[in-house]
Structure 1
Amino acid sequence: MFRRFLPKNTDFFDYLEQHSNLIIETCKELHKMSSDKPDVVASAARIKEIEQQADVITHKCTEDLLKTFITPIDRSDILALIKRMDDIIDFIFASTSRMDLYEIRELKPEAKELSAIILASAEKIHQAISGLRNMKHAAEIKEICIQIHHLEDHADGLFRNAIVNLFRQEEQPIQVIKWKEILERLEKATDRCDDVANILEKVIIEST
């Protein structure tokens, strides 16, 4: 009867690292859409596949948290990390699926810039997650989190300017609606990257 309270061999860091790899893959696929001749349909389809893989990892991690008594870091932090990381992919998927739905075949310059920021943030998240196994990397992780915050600040300014330009320059109301939806979801992805950095900072404070 006490078996369910015994430590499990679940590697939660492995779940986080697997998921961060999928974030990188998603962001690279998104960034492909910034090329001169992007295949938006193919990239959107690939991102949908990755999003489904990420959901499986998130579900497994959540299930194992319920079954495991001892975790390497606070279970609430593991849950928050995997959920916010999954949100990054979800918002990118929400954006690219709309590009496909609205038959958009070329990204606006602001969307390209946001995709570059998201990719840079994803690479830093992957670097930070990979360092969680050993708290000797605490100072490095903290510095990475600061860099992610700076990227999110830049994305906020870029998003505001993008919306202003959209309403000033776009003559077709339907295009305003379409692009506002797309840009909002890309910006939300940068917000979730910032959330991940906040959680990582909390983990570092509690573990050192």
Structure 2
Amino acid sequence: MSSFFAKGPDYFELFKKGINISCKAAKVLQTSFTDGHIDRNEIAQLKEIEHEGDRHVHYCSNLIADSFITPLDRSDMMAMVRAIEAITDSIDDIGNQIYMMHITKASDFTVKMVDLIVNCCEGLQDLMNEFEQYKKNYKSIKEKTVYVNHLEEEGDAIFSEAMRALFDPENKMEMIDVIRLQNLYNTLEDALDYCEDVADIVEQIIISNT
């Protein structure tokens, strides 16, 4: 009888753990840039963090599938888990771009966008800390989703300026370097978009459950 009433998994803690993994990856990426140069040893750590994120997703997926009762709709919970994973995957993709395309220096635009990714992940950490009590904390959660959305918009503006500078007729950069940075900027923007996706999913879940 006691096993029937055993407490189920704390899914909100699992959401927190997922975004903590994303934030860890973002901060490793950030610290890999030193005085405009990229530390390849730091970048190499991203792969193991991405694997940690994958293991966490598989664990969450199995729990959601096997649980008799869940605090939220299963499809919403899976959407959340996958959206958080997408952040970590995209940060790993940034590391892959840097490695595969032999990028050794971080442009000012790259540094600014990585800083925004870190800020977004930290904002999502704050958001997840309040998510379990979403009915009580709705106003505060709404402010935090707006904050993350604002950071993503700031990233869009930086991305536009970065691409404009890249294709400026006066730019004397070698074409191979233009291609490298174009691909990198696109991947950086993707990471910011995925952060916004998580904030949007939180807001949609709250609307559906209140």
Q: Same fold (TM over 0.5)?
A: yes
The 2-side partners of 1:182 and 1:37 are apart by 15
How many positions carry a matched residue from both structures?
204
Match of 1:13 in 2: 12
Match of 1:187 in 2: 189
Provide TM-score, normalisation by structure 2. 0.90
Counterpart secondary structure, 2:131: coil
Is contact 2:36–2:106 with CA below 8 Å preserved after alignment? no
Is contact 2:28–2:45 with CA below 8 Å preserved after alignment? yes
Match of 1:167 in 2: 167
Compare 95-104 and 20-29 and name the one that shifted more.
95-104
Is contact 2:159–2:189 with CA below 8 Å preserved after alignment? yes
Tell me the CA shift for residue 34 of structure 1. Answer: 3.4
Match of 1:57 in 2: 56
1:129-144 → structure 2 map (5 Å cutoff): 129-135=128-134, 136-144=136-144
Tell me the CA shift for residue 8 of structure 1. Answer: 7.1
1:35-184 → structure 2 map (5 Å cutoff): 35-36=34-35, 38-135=37-134, 136-168=136-168, 169-184=171-186
Q: Report percent identity of matched pairs.
A: 29
Is contact 2:33–2:39 with CA below 8 Å preserved after alignment? no
Is contact 1:32–1:38 with CA below 8 Å preserved after alignment? no
Pair 170,150 (structure 1): closer, same or farther in 2 beyond 3 Å? farther
The aligned amino acid for 2:193 is D
Task: Note the residue ranges of structure 1 that are not aligned, 5 or more in a row.
Answer: 1-5
Tell me the CA shift for residue 85 of structure 1. Answer: 0.9
Task: Note the residue ranges of structure 2 that are not aligned, 5 or more in a row.
Answer: none
1:198 to 194, 197, 200: 200
The 2-side partners of 1:71 and 1:207 are apart by 13
The 1-side partners of 2:56 and 2:17 are apart by 8
Deviations 1:10-35 (Å, cap 9, x if unpaired)? 22112211111111111111111333
Tell me the CA shift for residue 44 of structure 1. Answer: 1.4
When you count helix as a share of all residues, which structure comes out higher? 1
The 1-side partners of 2:122 and 2:14 are apart by 17
Provide TM-score, normalisation by structure 1. 0.91
Tell me the CA shift for residue 58 of structure 1. Answer: 0.7
The aligned amino acid for 2:20 is N
